[in-house]
Structure 1
Amino acid sequence: MLLRTTLILLFVTFAANAEVKLTETDILGTWQIDSESNNSDGSHAKKLSSTWTFRNDGTMEGMSTDSDINARSSEIRAIVQYSVEDGKIIKQTVPGRSKFETCTAVEKNAQKMTLECNNVYFFMTKK
């Protein structure tokens, strides 16, 4: 019985972290980043006020707003290059730089997506 329970838990854990192959069609449009976490289950998540807009010209516009009165700027906007290769998003880390990062979808349905980018999980909703 213990072995069976252990195998079931291993299977569920593996299935929860299974990779979802994306196409460009899957990601086009604007995604609200609801939260980010270092944990795949979303525990200890940080709420964000950010959007990522994937365009069919290979650019992604990121926009974040900050309501902190001590923030240097209330809005930050950046446009970076991206592509979808082997079901993963490859995107610039900083505009104008040649460094890219790979983001893997670990969950995706019609309106929700969880991306892992360099061990940070982004929990997103399609707008």
Structure 2
Amino acid sequence: MPIDATLPYDDQNVFAKVLRGEIPSKRVYESAHSIAFHDIAPQAPTHILVIPRGAYVSWDDFSARASDAEITDFVRAVGEVARAAGLVEPGYRLLANVGQDAHQEIAHLHVHIFAGRTLGPMLAR
């Protein structure tokens, strides 16, 4: 069920539990402010999630409240993960859903990295 991205942060969401080590994850990257791990239900041959360590509900929340260090670290993490996975060529897609209309399902900012096949058009027509 999509969530309202303006709701307060819920520290019981699945990504908060991953950050605390309560739910296992296959991590591929860790930094001071970000982690990346393989999605447990991949939607493409390569499907990696990048999340900030901080308690941010959405991209909007993150861009408004995160420190410059957190923002820089997170944006660089996405690029570093894509490069390390060899995705720059032939290409990859980034997706960050925000709010109900975009079908955001977990109230913790996360960026999906999809790759490994031709991904098709941006939106269903």
Q: TM-score range by the shorter chain?
A: under 0.3
What TM-score comes out, normalization by structure 1 length? 0.26
Higher helix share: 2
What TM-score comes out, normalization by structure 2 length? 0.26
Higher strand share: 1
Higher relative contact order (CA 8 A, sep 6+): 2
